[in-house]
Structure 1
Amino acid sequence: MSVFSEYKDCIEEGDLVLVWISRDNIKPIRVDSNEIFNTRYGSFPHKMMIGQRYGSQIAIRTKGANKFAFIHVLQPTPELWTLSLPHRTQIVYTPDSSYIMERLNCNPRTRAVEAGTGSGSFSHAFARSVGHLYSYEFHGPRYEEALKEFREHGLVDADKNVTITHRDVCRDGFRIRREDVTSHQFGEDEGEVAIGANVVFLDLPAPWDAIPHLEEVICSDEKVGLCCFSPCIEQVDKTIEALNKHGWSDLQMVEIQAKQFESRRQMVRTVDDAIERLRDVKRRKSEGLERRKRMCESLVSDQPEADETEEKRPVTEKTKFNPFGKGARVKEGDANYKWKEVTKVEPEIKSHTSYLTFAFKVANKSRDEEAVQKILESTESK
């Protein structure tokens, strides 16, 4: 059973559980009643999790203080797995993978080709949504890690919908022979696996070398969609040249540049505020010059500065609110001041930027005249 597509209510021994420690810290564990999950906040025995409903909060009392530490135990989903998986390569995040699958019209009838597998983030999303996924990885250690991971998650069992192959598709193409993949999925018979893909996703350094080989595996009777994931525009340029050369059409490139927008309130500043600010700057400058002049005179005369007789500016002037400079803090939205709604962007982008190149192709453009005639006859009879 795949833990990512079939759901259950309660945690059992041996289950894969995602432990939510904080928003940016989610850890996958395999529940073992003899193990303990250690965090900076405390230690949580696995046996406390067994029998609990997924989504439950588990709390313990910390030592030496009357305080509690807690975690949440969650059932794995492709979205949560993307946040917690071990990174072997740069990954495709959920907003990007969901957008790609929507553009390529993925559904339970889809037969998808993915090259390369990488950390398996997009593979898990594909596995939940498509009919069958053929994933290719050229790097040996990454392939072994991905295969082990997919087996643990129940994605490559005999009745499941993921096939992973160790191959450099840019050099050797996409054809799969039964002996190229694990025997538990296709049996021991020799021969070629019929792929007939209608969706292709290429996350490769040189996708233009893989595009000519796609003719071997794409479906000839359906419209086939393709997406290339590239980190730089030079790769996009060479990819488009290869797509045009091999008959792909409806080309479109989308730039990924994730930004977080937030709604804030900004104080309305008037001309009078600006004038007052300039007067304040001029007054402070004049006072500073006068003070430095008195200090120089006191050093020449070897007499201490008479601070007691000096007229001091009231302390309240230093802490008075100044909308253009330093001063007392005012809480955002304070009713004593006038505010306007503004939108601010986070200063740093927290996800990678890249380019998605979409293209489509119909390999067989000949019409089935018999089928067309039947459709016309049925329409006329109505």
Structure 2
Amino acid sequence: MIGLEYGSQIESNRANGYVHLLHPTPELWTSAVPHRTQILYLPDISMISLKLNLKPGSVVVESGTGSGAFSHAILRSIANSGHLYTFEYHEQRAEKAKEEFRVHNLTDMVTVFHRDVCKEGFNLENVADAVFLDLPAPWEAIPSAVKALKKSIAGKICTFSPCIEQVQRTANALHDNSFFDIQTFECLVRDYDTLSLPLPDIQDTIRGDRVKFKFVKGKKRAFKTYQTSNVENENGDKDLSNSTSNAIDDKNNSSEELKTKTLSKKKSLISRKLSV
């Protein structure tokens, strides 16, 4: 694939089919970087970047470099005139992040520090437009983060915590350091698949063909399939009124049967639960 243009289609060597060569978008960067630690994914990255107002030329301070997934997202947002100061307390992870930034030609926009900011602070003053903290105890780094923010603007701080107790302590620390408009978010994304369902031919329905509704059970989805048959009266002509009423009766009978089965299931579930 070396030397091919983005968008090229190449055959897969491991399985039948093919793959497309895609330009490294922020989402692909997140998936492709080695995951040495837990990382942030697209929903959180998008919300944080929006709330911190990251744009070309922004200066950002980050603590908790980890695998560098969010660091790459920050750099893509602030390029080419911005700068990222990122801090990692784990020495090997800090050195690995430096090497990856060098390989990705990002060294002009990022400075990596090996430091525990909760104990030693950032040692930066009046430089940052925004601060991001992904730490076990982010409230301990708030006083030092305040010093790193620019005094001429309303600086912003974002912390990422998995537990509500961490959020509570961090919110109290922000309030004690004169921050306002403190908000808490949880980002949830649900993917949807679209499916085409088979429908009866409208011409058959107009001619008076009887439509029979058949419910097919599946693992997660229920489909309607249709079976048509001609209905003729004694004179050999198609009886539209009779076929229409039959179609409605079949549908109602199927619905009533389905309701009965559903109620019996509910009753059995309740009885089992009560007996336990």
TM-score normalized by the length of structure 1: 0.50
Q: Describe how 1:165-244 pairs up with structure 2 within 5 A.
A: 165-175=113-123, 196-244=127-175
Deviation digits for residues 71-96 of structure 1, max 9, x if unmatched? 33333232201112211111111221
Give the 3-state SS of the residue equivalent to 1:223 in structure 2: coil
Deviation digits for residues 133-192 of structure 1, max 9, x if unmatched? 111111111111111111100111xxx21111111110111115xxxxxxxxxxxxxxxx
CA distance in 2, matches of 1:263, 1:233: 36
Tell me: CA distance 1:123–1:195, structure 2 relative to 1, closer, same or farther (3 Å). farther
Answer with 1 or 2: which has the greater Rg: 1
Q: Describe how 1:270-285 pairs up with structure 2 within 5 A.
A: none
Give the 3-state SS of the residue equivalent to 1:255 in structure 2: coil
CA distance in 2, matches of 1:332, 1:100: 40
Say which of 60, 75, 93 aligns to 1:112.
60
Give the 3-state SS of the residue equivalent to 1:239 in structure 2: helix
Q: Which residue of 2 aligns with 1:145?
A: 96
Q: Runs of 5+ in structure 1 lacking a partner?
A: 1-48, 177-193, 267-320, 339-382
Q: Which residue of 1 aligns with 2:4?
A: 52
**Bigger fraction of residues in helix:** 2
For this pair of structures, how many residues does the alignment match? 210
Tell me: CA distance 1:72–1:228, structure 2 relative to 1, closer, same or farther (3 Å). same
Give the 3-state SS of the residue equivalent to 2:96 in structure 1: helix
What is the one-letter code of the residue matched to 1:102? L
What is the one-letter code of the residue matched to 1:74? L
Q: Which residue of 2 aligns with 1:334?
A: 225
Q: Runs of 5+ in structure 2 lacking a partner?
A: 198-212, 228-249, 252-276
Tell me: CA distance 1:264–1:141, structure 2 relative to 1, closer, same or farther (3 Å). same
Structure number with the bigger relative contact order (C-alpha 8 A, sep ≥ 6) is: 1
1:55 shift after superposition: 2.1
Q: Which residue of 2 aligns with 1:101?
A: 49
Give the 3-state SS of the residue equivalent to 1:86 in structure 2: coil
Tell me: CA distance 1:265–1:57, structure 2 relative to 1, closer, same or farther (3 Å). closer
Deviation digits for residues 335-364 of structure 1, max 9, x if unmatched? 4597xxxxxxxxxxxxxxxxxxxxxxxxxx
TM-score normalized by the length of structure 2: 0.68
Calculate the aligned-residue CA RMSD, in Å: 3.0
Determine what percentage of the aligned residue pairs are the same residue: 47
Q: Describe how 1:1-382 pairs up with structure 2 within 5 A.
A: 49-59=1-11, 69-130=17-78, 131-156=82-107, 160-175=108-123, 196-262=127-193, 323=215, 332-335=223-226
What is the one-letter code of the residue matched to 1:332? F
Contact 1:265 1:332 in 2 (8 A): no
**Bigger fraction of residues in strand:** 1
